[in-house]
Structure 1
């Protein structure tokens, strides 16, 4: 259990860091942890969901607070928002449908940061964001945990379950990004 506890803490830290620095592949990390947990003790799988969601949630809060505190100047300096009309549209959608917009933004590669930044710069209340982001993070972590479980079940008893689950999650992320780019090119 000590190894699993270390993995869960590492997972939460990695996902939290990845939420602030979006170059870290957080979804595949959650999937790999789920595949590992499945083979250790099936009852620990909900802990993977919680660790992934907690890391994502805390990382999102840090990023949102930095964008709210630093304001538009910080956002422009890092180049997080490039199109004024697009960011205004994101802020409007976020104000109208917080949970669904946050969830969809988590599922799309490179979709979460613009939504968080637009909401912070537009002045969305921090408490509203904090509450609306809870189900989005839980659903995101549940999805990637499910991907890991499918990979773990498909390769039951094999050491390949963890890397295959991570690779499957990465493939899904790459496919979503490709579909987004194709859709954007057609506009």
Structure 2
């Protein structure tokens, strides 16, 4: 039985929030998962497995929705948004990298801030097979969930106060997910 603070309804909401955040990337899914891990770690450590599974499932479902939507409508969307055109060199290079090592490409893209959507879109627009995507996404969503649950566990283990641990985990998760996006990129010349 799940403890009072982390009930089945909370797990379903966690899956829904993370899936929604994977589709609409303004929702801070990493900090949400880290915060849930802090609460689970404090209540009953075995509940971390449930939080991990919920995060994994939410990330997987959200990524699948993005892939399916862009596979089905990508051509029409790409015609209206120039950087999405499948004949662009960047999309072609991304497709080549995905095909060279799809599990690594999908997993790394999931862990790098702002890396997931371009890779998913490139894969969908270039005709990457659905069945291969569904398998590789299992690994990438799992790696992402392990990372953010780990941040939550670390916060809960290092900081004795549940409130402070929750705040620390959310701050670290934001730092992992937002700071690299804000840093200027250096281009090779």
**Residues of 2 paired with 1:150 and 1:80: CA distance?**
39
The answer to whether 1:103 aligns with 2:110 is no
Counterpart position of 2:10: 7
CA–CA distance in structure 2, aligned partners of residues 37 and 98 of structure 1: 33
- Alignment: residue pair count: 185
CA distance in 2, matches of 1:40, 1:75: 47
Q: Which stretch of structure 1 is more off in the superposition, 70-79 or 57-66?
A: 70-79
The structure that is helix-richer by fraction is 1
Change over 3 Å in CA distance of 1:96–1:35 after alignment to 2:
same
CA distance in 1, matches of 2:178, 2:186: 14
Q: Does 1:48 align with 2:51?
A: yes
- Who is 2:92 aligned against? 88
2:179 and 2:26 map into 1 onto residues whose CA distance is: 17
Distance 2:67 2:185 in 1: 29
List alignment gaps of at least 5 residues for structure 2: none
CA gap 1:60/1:75 in 2 versus in 1, 3 angstroms: farther
Q: Give the Cα separation in 2 of the matches to 1:75 and 1:26.
A: 27
Deviations 1:47-103 (A, max 9, x none): 111111100100111110000100222245466627911111111111121111111
| Residue 155 of structure 1, aligned match among 139, 143, 159 | 159
- The reply to whether residue 132 of structure 1 matches residue 144 of structure 2 is no
Output the CA distance in 1 between the equivalents of 2:82 and 2:154: 37
Identify if the C-alpha distance between structure 1 residues 93 and 37 changes in structure 2 by more than 3 Å, giving closer, same or farther. same
Residue of 63, 67, 73 corresponding to 2:70:
67
Contact 1:68/1:123 (8 A) holds in 2: yes
Q: Please, what is the CA RMSD of the aligned residues? A: 1.9
Q: Structure 1 unaligned segments of length 5 or more: list them.
A: none
Instruction: Give 1:29 shift.
Output: 0.8
> What TM-score, normalized by structure 1, do the two folds share?
0.91
Q: Is residue 67–residue 121 contact of structure 1 (8 Å, CA) maintained in 2?
A: yes
Q: Which moved more, 1:69-78 or 1:144-153?
A: 69-78
Q: Give every structure 1 segment of 4 or more consecutive aligned residues whose post-TM-superposition deviation is greater than 3 Å.
A: 75-80
Residue in 1 that maps onto 2:150 = 146
**Corresponding position: 1:122 with 2:126:** yes
Quickly say closer, same or farther: Cα 1:76–1:36, change in 2 above 3 A.
farther
